[in-house]
Chains A and B, each alone.
Chain A
Amino acid sequence: MENCSKDYPTSIVQLPDDCLYFIFNWLDSASDRQSFGLTCHRWLQIQNSSRRSLQFQCSFTKIDIASLSQSTMKINAFHLHRFLNRFQQLHFLSLSGCVEMPDSGLRQLQYYGSKLQTLHLHCCFGITDCGVSLAASGCPSLTTISLYSCNVTDIGLKALSQSCLALRDVDLSYCSLISDHGIRALSKNCRQLRAIRMSNCRSVTGVGFMGCSQGLTYLEANGCKLEPDGIMAIVSGGGLEYLNLSCISWCILGDGLRAIGAGFATKLKVLDFRLCRTIGDKSIIAIAKGCPLLQEWNLALCHEITKAGWEAIGVHCHNLEKLHVNRCRNLCDEGLQALRYGCKKLSVLYISIHNYRRISSTAMEIFKCLRGDVKIIEEEVMCIAPNSAFQ
């Protein structure tokens, strides 16, 4: 032991790479990691290949107040090439906010994207089907992708569904060119699909979901032009726990939403019908009976629900904890009484008290007296999505 270090002093450069990786991972401050990388090329390489996530200032997820006043550098394809060349072991890449990034910027993903799990392309208006295909072919391990507001059509979705079979969370909000064909490709091939956001996809009617897997637990379809067949298809998988159908008032006439209560959506826990103006008592009664596990239900601005509907909710929604009835024009004293008698597990009631024409202050006071366990909140909540996906 004494003779080993007599001739040459040992130094850290003699450590093998995996030891240096280990040491690097213990560094928890950014400046330490920077200094590590500035030491020599070998250590720079270790720093580069230890990086797991990359995002830019334009995505606004981490707001640094001091830098807000400076103009941000626009990330273009050349920059992205250099970055992807340098950081080849990324798991998370966000190009959100890079509005001018062209498809060619994603080309390097074909060589270095094999470990990529999460790709965010929010508002990447320059990305089209071509770019999505490049990303799909280069990133077979992709589990989460966001194409919010991208110019993507069914062709891009089909490319995704063929290469990225491990896809779990997909955000397609505001992709108005997507139709049921693309949705069908995704739901048929990506059987691990857990969550889909397709808010305001105007060309989707919902029929593409027929035969979706039971793993689909989270779906946001607000603002879509859904049809009754589409609603049937959406619940056909049997595993939905969160469903957002707000603001589809003009598409589903009368009882089109009754299908949700037909026995396929028994696992539904959170349901959002905000501003579904045409949903009537028949649908509400069917859903109250058919979704016994319902915990949160948003019925704000559902003007067509009358006493029969409120009574059904009171009688059948045994597990309901949060109910939103803000500005419902046909919620009167008797409806409030029905809710008071039932919904034993109710803990929060979102209701507008002050400019109410139909509910007398007496009825409101009786409710507060006899149901002191229920918190009354006047606020209108726009989004009741659970945190179970898109983390």
Chain B
Amino acid sequence: MAELMGPRLYSCCNCKNQVALHDDVISKAFQGRNGRAFLFSHAMNVVVGPKEDRQLMTGLHTVADVYCSDCREVLGWKYERAYEETQKYKEGKFILEKSKIVKENW
């Protein structure tokens, strides 16, 4: 019963490792590699990979792939740097793909 009162969580689809809180969702309108993705202000129990420059739909960014800390499944990426003023708000935030995370406790 305690689970129903707890925070609403997202978990890794592969091993159910808790990776993000629903409260940290900033936007649900992002595009990931294959489908919808959510922008989170924080992610936990994830490992951040090496930085690389990528041309995304919104322009050039420096991103780092984000992996589940337990099973190493790629869940999304973290914005390290954005090169356009309008995209700066994303810096330090995480994109987790909808297909890679599942709802836990709700």
**Which of A's residues lie within 8 Å of B, judged by CB?**
247, 249-250, 275, 277, 301, 327
Asked if residues A250 and B16 are in contact (CB atoms below 8 Å), the reply is yes
4 closest residue pairs by CB, A with B: A250-B16, A301-B70, A249-B16, A275-B15
CB within 8 Å of A: which of B56-70?
70
Which chain B residues border A275 with CB–CB below 8 Å?
Answer: 15, 70-71
Which chain A residues border B17 with CB–CB below 8 Å?
Answer: 277
- In the bound assembly, the distance between CA atoms of A277 and B71 in angstroms comes to 11
Which chain B residues border A247 with CB–CB below 8 Å?
Answer: 15
Which chain B residues border A327 with CB–CB below 8 Å?
Answer: 70
Report the minimum CB–CB distance from B65 to chain A (whole Å).
18
Which chain B residues border A301 with CB–CB below 8 Å?
Answer: 15, 70
- In the bound assembly, the distance between CA atoms of A250 and B14 in angstroms comes to 9
- In the bound assembly, the distance between CA atoms of A128 and B17 in angstroms comes to 36
New A-B pairs, 12, CB < 8 Å, besides A275-B15, A277-B70, A301-B15: A247-B15, A249-B15, A249-B16, A250-B15, A250-B16, A275-B70, A275-B71, A277-B15, A277-B16, A277-B17, A301-B70, A327-B70
Q: Which chain A residue shows the least CB distance to B11?
A: A250
- Majority secondary structure of chain A interface residues (helix, strand, loop or mixed): loop
Pick the most buried of B16, B17, B70: most chain A CB atoms within 10 A of its CB: B70
Q: How many residues of B contact A (CB 8 A)?
A: 5
The contact string, 1 if C-beta is below 8 Å from chain A, for chain B 1-28, is 0000000000000011100000000000
Which chain B residues border A249 with CB–CB below 8 Å?
Answer: 15-16
Q: Which chain A residue shows the least CB distance to B102?
A: A250
Q: Which chain A residue shows the least CB distance to B47?
A: A355
- In the bound assembly, the distance between CA atoms of A368 and B16 in angstroms comes to 34
Report the minimum CB–CB distance from A301 to chain B (whole Å).
5
Which chain A residues border B71 with CB–CB below 8 Å?
Answer: 275
- In the bound assembly, the distance between CA atoms of A301 and B15 in angstroms comes to 10
- In the bound assembly, the distance between CA atoms of A289 and B29 in angstroms comes to 52
Report the minimum CB–CB distance from B11 to chain A (whole Å).
9
- In the bound assembly, the distance between CA atoms of A301 and B70 in angstroms comes to 7
Pick the most buried of A247, A277, A327: most chain B CB atoms within 10 A of its CB: A277
10 inter-chain pairs at a CB distance below 8 angstroms, sorted by A residue, are: A247-B15, A249-B15, A250-B15, A250-B16, A275-B70, A275-B71, A277-B15, A277-B16, A277-B70, A301-B15
Report the minimum CB–CB distance from A276 to chain B (whole Å).
10
- In the bound assembly, the distance between CA atoms of A249 and B13 in angstroms comes to 11
- In the bound assembly, the distance between CA atoms of A221 and B70 in angstroms comes to 20
Report the minimum CB–CB distance from B70 to chain A (whole Å).
5
Report the minimum CB–CB distance from B76 to chain A (whole Å).
20
The contact string, 1 if C-beta is below 8 Å from chain A, for chain B 39-57, is 0000000000000000000
Q: Which chain B residue shows the least CB distance to A250?
A: B16
- In the bound assembly, the distance between CA atoms of A250 and B15 in angstroms comes to 7
Which chain A residues border B70 with CB–CB below 8 Å?
Answer: 275, 277, 301, 327
Which chain A residues border B16 with CB–CB below 8 Å?
Answer: 249-250, 277
Q: Which chain A residue shows the least CB distance to B14?
A: A247
Q: Which chain A residue shows the least CB distance to B71?
A: A275
- In the bound assembly, the distance between CA atoms of A166 and B71 in angstroms comes to 39
- In the bound assembly, the distance between CA atoms of A249 and B16 in angstroms comes to 7
Q: Which chain B residue shows the least CB distance to A301?
A: B70
- In the bound assembly, the distance between CA atoms of A209 and B15 in angstroms comes to 26
Which chain B residues border A250 with CB–CB below 8 Å?
Answer: 15-16
- In the bound assembly, the distance between CA atoms of A95 and B70 in angstroms comes to 36
Q: Which chain B residue shows the least CB distance to A247?
A: B15
Q: Which chain B residue shows the least CB distance to A275?
A: B15
Q: Which chain A residue shows the least CB distance to B69?
A: A327
Report the minimum CB–CB distance from B47 to chain A (whole Å).
10
Report the minimum CB–CB distance from A163 to chain B (whole Å).
39
Report the minimum CB–CB distance from A356 to chain B (whole Å).
13
CB within 8 Å of A: which of B65-89?
70-71
Q: Which chain B residue shows the least CB distance to A329?
A: B45
Which chain A residues border B15 with CB–CB below 8 Å?
Answer: 247, 249-250, 275, 277, 301
Report the minimum CB–CB distance from B64 to chain A (whole Å).
17
Q: Which chain B residue shows the least CB distance to A249?
A: B16
- In the bound assembly, the distance between CA atoms of A202 and B23 in angstroms comes to 33
Q: Which chain A residue shows the least CB distance to B17?
A: A277
Which chain B residues border A277 with CB–CB below 8 Å?
Answer: 15-17, 70
Report the minimum CB–CB distance from B7 to chain A (whole Å).
18
- In the bound assembly, the distance between CA atoms of A275 and B17 in angstroms comes to 10
- In the bound assembly, the distance between CA atoms of A327 and B47 in angstroms comes to 13
